[in-house]
Amino acid sequence: MKKVYVGFYTLMILLNLVPFIPMSIKGILGLLFISISSVRLSYKAGLITATLWIMLGVRNFILNINLDYANGLLTMILGSILYYSIAYYLGRTTEALREKNLQLENEVQKRKLTEEQLKKKIILLQSLMDAIPNPIFFMNLEYRYTGCNLALQEATGLKEKEVIGKTVYDLYDLKLANIYHEMDIELLKTTGKQVYETVMRIVDGSLRNVVVNKALFTDGMGNPSGIVGVITDISDKKERYMLEERVVEKRRIIDEILEQDKMKTEFFSNISHELRTPLNVILGSVQLIETYSRDRVYCENQGKVIKNVTIMKQNCYRLLRLVNNLIDITKIDALAFEVHLKNCDVVRIVEEITLSVSNYIENKGIHLIFDTDIEEKIIACDDEKIERIMLNLLSNAVKFTPQRGTILVSIHHDDDHLYIEVKDSGKGIPPEKLQEVFERFCQVTDLFSRHHEGSGIGLSLVKALVEMHGGKISAESELDKGSTFNIQLPTRVVEEDWQLSPPAKQDHVERINVEFSDIYSAG
């Protein structure tokens, strides 16, 4: 660079010292040298060149070397001003342009660096997306695909360049495309996130259950610029879930079968016991009667014969009650059991049943109370079935109520229902058994520890009879304080012309003997 400066200024001095070049030409050459030094070298170099050229011009003017213009001094002054003006203007302008060019070069370098970094990030992002097993796609605001990952390409069987620019209608059948497009429109309206479950047809033609997660991505100003979606295949998970549900359901069925089998085993044990006990009693009584019949003094044993006949009759009632309950339960299961509704005064029916067993209950040392807040209520019911319900509940209350205990039968009503309540002060029902008392074959105590007879089907039959009347029954209990059975019956009536003729009734006293046959007492 120094050699260039030396050569440039040497040439400039030599041209000024050559005597045969006119001053006008040297003036023009000065403009050229000043312009070159200002533009090519620097602002200061331009000023130095102008100063040096003026000094050389002054020398030529003083020595009167080849002057070719009239007013040399004025020309010298004006030329000097022109030299400095050109040097200043060109120098400053060139420096400003150099600074601007430098800034532009720096900006270009930054842009190139940014582009390179962006390309690296795009490559990295694409590599990451291709490594994700879930299909991922990008769409613009015109619902056209702008990119996707390898998983989506494999799922659709299309390359990315074949996907870009397409819509869902180009990639999927019309039915699925309509679903996807409607969800995309909804997403743009809500400008939020979207998660939904749908199906997706893949390259082999099969449909897969998928969950689609979509969201809007924005530009630097926060304005929506497109949609990004991630598809998760849940077919295997759903199949596992359905399989687990089937396993749970089958396990539940197996548990129910085992429970029913257990209940049936207990029931048959109970039935065996229930059948064997009265049969043994009847057999023993028959054997005693046979012995008395051989006695010469038969008249002396006539009272014993009558007593044993009574025992046989009572046990026959037990067997009859058991068989009746089994037959009725079978009919209910076969939907062959009927109730014959007619308009009856249910208050009178319940009161008469309660009073008819009052002597029997009082002889057990139990206080029986009947209370009602209404003297008469006509509703549609089967009086024989109501009687059976009440006898069964009263029989249960007597079984579990100790001497000097209390049994309360009460009736109350509202606009739509009649409520019958049977409450005792017995030992109560354990909380874990309370929800099971109406289940068939249920026993509050097991076969070897209970102190009362029963097959475990009485309360389930009561529940069925109440429900056939359109009613409900529930139980409340507290250990060592007693139990309460609540019956709710609708207060509806039937057209008399439509009622069916009821079947022939058993004798009222006989029905009481049948229902109370499994209660034994010395009294």
Owner of token pair 């056209």: 144
Which residues face 478 on adjacent strands? 482
Axis crossing angle, helix 43-63 with helix 72-131, rounded to the nearest 10: 160
Burial of 43-65, coded b for 16+ CB within 10 Å and e otherwise, reads bebbbbbbebbbebbeebeeeeb
Phi, psi of 422 (to 5 degrees): -115, 115
Q: In the prediction, which pLDDT does 235 show?
A: 85
The matching CATH number, chosen from 3.90.78.10, 3.40.1190.20, 3.30.450.20, 3.30.420.40, for 131-238 is: 3.30.450.20
pLDDT at residue 431, as a whole number:
85
Alpha helices in 132-224 (DSSP H): 150-156, 160-163, 168-171, 174-190
Strands of 321-382 (E only): list them. Answer: 342-345, 367-372, 378-381
Locate 157 and state its tokens.
Answer: 């069987």
pLDDT (tens place) for every residue of the chain, 523 residues total: 567 667 777 777 777 777 777 777 877 888 888 888 888 877 788 888 888 888 877 777 777 776 666 676 777 788 788 888 888 888 888 888 888 888 999 999 999 998 888 888 878 888 888 888 889 999 998 999 988 888 888 888 888 888 899 999 988 888 888 988 998 888 888 877 889 888 888 888 888 889 999 998 888 787 888 889 999 988 888 888 888 888 888 888 888 888 777 766 666 666 656 666 666 677 676 766 666 666 655 555 566 666 767 777 767 776 777 777 777 777 777 777 888 899 999 999 999 999 988 888 888 899 999 999 999 999 999 998 999 899 889 988 998 899 899 999 999 999 899 999 999 999 888 888 887 888 876 665 543 344 455 556 788 889 999 999 999 999 999 888 899 999 999 999 988 654 444 444 445 666 677 677 666 443 3
CATH class of the domain comprising 241-329:
mainly alpha
As beta bridge partners, residue 369 has 408
Q: Give me the residues paired with residue 1 across strands.
A: none
What residue ranges do the domains of the chain occupy?
Answer: 1-104, 131-238, 241-329, 338-504
Question: What pLDDT does 144 receive?
Answer: 92
Q: How is residue 424 written in tokens?
A: 């005792």
DSSP letters for 442-480: --SS-TTT-SS---S-HHHHHHHHHHHTT-EEEEEEETT
Amino acid type, 3: K
The strand pairing partners of 137, in sequence order, are 148, 229
What pLDDT is recorded for position 447? Answer: 38
| pLDDT at residue 372, rounded to an integer | 94
Tell me how far apart the alpha carbons of residues 276 and 281 are, in angstroms, rounded to a whole number.
9
Q: Options 3.40.50.300, 3.20.10.10, 3.30.565.10, 2.30.110.10; which CATH number does 338-504 get?
A: 3.30.565.10
Tell me the C-alpha distance between 37 and 7, whole Å: 12
Contacts of 367 by beta carbon, 8 Å cutoff, 6+ apart? 404, 405, 406, 407
Amino acid at site 468? M
For the chain, the first-to-last Cα distance in angstroms comes to: 141
Phi, psi of 473, deg, nearest 5: -135, 140
- What is the Cα–Cα distance from 415 to 188, expressed in whole angstroms? 56
pLDDT for res 176:
85
Question: In this predicted structure, what is the pLDDT of residue 386?
Answer: 93
Task: Report whether 236 contacts 211 (CB < 8 A).
Answer: no
Among residues 520, 432, 414, 434, the alpha carbon closest in space to that of 485 is found at 434
Nearest CA to 452 among 407, 412, 395?
395
- pLDDT confidence of residue 68: 64
Closest CA relative to residue 464, chosen from 319, 331, 268:
331
DSSP state of 206: -
Q: What is the pTM of this model?
A: 0.47
Q: What is the largest CA-CA distance in the chain?
A: 195
Tell me the two tokens of residue 172. Answer: 């999927």
